[in-house]
Amino acid sequence: MDTTTNAAAVATTGKTSVRWKIFFTMLLLISINYIDRASLSVAMPLIAKEFDLGPAMQGLILSSFFWTYAFMQIPGGMLADRFKPRIVIAIATIFWGAFQALAAVCTSSTALLLTRLGLGAAEAPIYPAGGKLNAIWMTQNERGRGATLLDGGAPLGAALGAIIITALITTLGSWRMAFVVAGVGTVLAGIWAWYYIRNNPRDHNSVNDAEASYIEAAQASEFKKEPANLSGRSLDFFKHKSVLFMFFGWMCFNSVFYGLLTWMPNYLNKVHGFDIKQMGGASFIIFFSGFVGELVGGYIADKWKAAGGLPNKVMRTLFGIAAVIATLSIFSVAYIKDATTVVVMLSVTLFFIRWCGLYWCIPSILGTRDKVGFLGGLMNLGGNIGGICVPIIVGTIVQVTGSYFLALMFFAAAGVGLFICSTGIDYEKKIPI
């Protein structure tokens, strides 16, 4: 077939949509990521009884995942920049599946804590590498949806995790067997990631010339706007206000989300008397609301920008609305006694706060092409410092006060911080580093 005929065939068939399939694959991987994280929270009432754990020790174990997860964020992002996302994503997924399964043989709180440390280290590169994929595969007006598909796995995985792990525990009669099944499934997903994901659209057998050219043309236009005379010193990013707001804004966001992810099942159990099946159902409703909200936020952002909306106006407005409504909702939960209304308000909280999945656009907005992984790792380091602190803070508050009231006030304060940071970022200027 000659060049003219080939071009005509491409024009007839139109663009393939492999870039969206890549991000639905990432949605699957992040969902599995959060199913594995949520498994411990769902099983914690059973584990705490078996190992005789108090609230403070439970908080320590729930927090331990985030110690290595946070520590490995920047190295994980740098690995994605250097070795490209495909191999980093596949290896990370296989290893965290192995640690998830290994938790099933633990016979003490110390051993369980060690497997959570391994799980955190293995999962760390997945988000920075996903942010790198977003910069490689998506155009500027598609990255909102790309970011929210990537990050949408968090609430979807939390929702499905509550149902799946609860069902596995109930069916198999053991939290240990549930962890083995989850771990093996994760390893298989890592093998699929290696098979399907590619570092460049031209390398993927299913991408036609129209889709590859479309991506390349959009990125060539974007690259022309990158600043010249770059210093190359990654630490120089800390001199810029937008980077600091990104870091602390994501910390505030994750303080709310991870706080609910790790402690909400216990809260519903202790305060509102939910059994494990009711906890699973309520958790699904709450976190699935977050998944829907995340997709809605990404859709609005991309459509608004495509219609000519300036990035600062679009992003600051959406983040501002999300932070205000989520803060008011979580604040109100502290004063509500009716269990059904509590579930509704927590669902509202998750629906709006998950609009902040758009944060995963920020590394590609602020950074040049060879710094996206580093910025994604830096941002997620901030988020997971929140992940480290919040389970311990909440566990200590509950143990000392015997109440979740101050914990809910802490989440509301984090929502205020999210508003301040998100509306302070300049979404229209790349940083010349």
Locus of tokens 């609910």: 260
- Does residue 379 contact residue 250 with C-beta atoms inside 8 Å? yes
Q: Residue 36 belongs to what domain range?
A: 15-422
Asked whether residue 10 is domain-assigned, the answer is no
Token representation of residue 307: 């219609």
Asked whether residue 80 is domain-assigned, the answer is yes
The 10s digit of each residue's pLDDT in 35-65 is 887 788 788 888 888 888 887 788 788 778 8
Asked whether residue 328 is domain-assigned, the answer is yes
- Does residue 417 contact residue 213 with C-beta atoms inside 8 Å? no
**Neighbour count for residue 54 (Cβ, 10 Å):** 11
- Does residue 37 contact residue 157 with C-beta atoms inside 8 Å? yes
When pLDDT is averaged across residues 92-113 and rounded to a whole number, the result is 90
**Neighbour count for residue 347 (Cβ, 10 Å):** 20
Q: Rounded CA gap, 116 and 177, in Å? A: 17
Is the pLDDT at 229 greater than 60, yes or no?
no
Confidence of residue 87 (pLDDT cuts 50, 70, 90): very high
- Does residue 422 contact residue 252 with C-beta atoms inside 8 Å? no
Q: Rounded CA gap, 232 and 146, in Å? A: 27
Asked whether residue 4 is domain-assigned, the answer is no
Q: Rounded CA gap, 64 and 389, in Å? A: 10
Average pLDDT of the chain, as a whole number: 85
Total residues belonging to the chain: 433
- In this structure, what is the dihedral angle of CA atoms 383, 386, 390, 393, given to the nearest 10 degrees? 180
**Neighbour count for residue 227 (Cβ, 10 Å):** 11
The packing angle between helices 276-306 and 241-272, to 10°, is 150
Confidence of residue 412 (pLDDT cuts 50, 70, 90): very high
Is the pLDDT at 141 greater than 50, yes or no?
yes
Give how many domains the chain has, as a whole number.
Answer: 1
Asked whether residue 5 is domain-assigned, the answer is no
Asked whether residue 131 is domain-assigned, the answer is yes
When pLDDT is averaged across residues 337-352 and rounded to a whole number, the result is 92
Res 268: pLDDT:
85
When pLDDT is averaged across residues 299-323 and rounded to a whole number, the result is 93
Is the pLDDT at 403 greater than 90, yes or no?
no
**Residue 233 belongs to a domain with what CATH number?**
1.20.1250.20
Show Cβ contacts of residue 234 under 8 Å, excluding neighbours closer than 6 positions: 371, 374, 433
Token representation of residue 27: 């949605």
Asked whether residue 360 is domain-assigned, the answer is yes
Asked whether residue 429 is domain-assigned, the answer is no
Helices (H) then strands (E): counts for the chain: 17, 0
Which has the closest alpha carbon to 182: 191, 193, 197, 169? 169
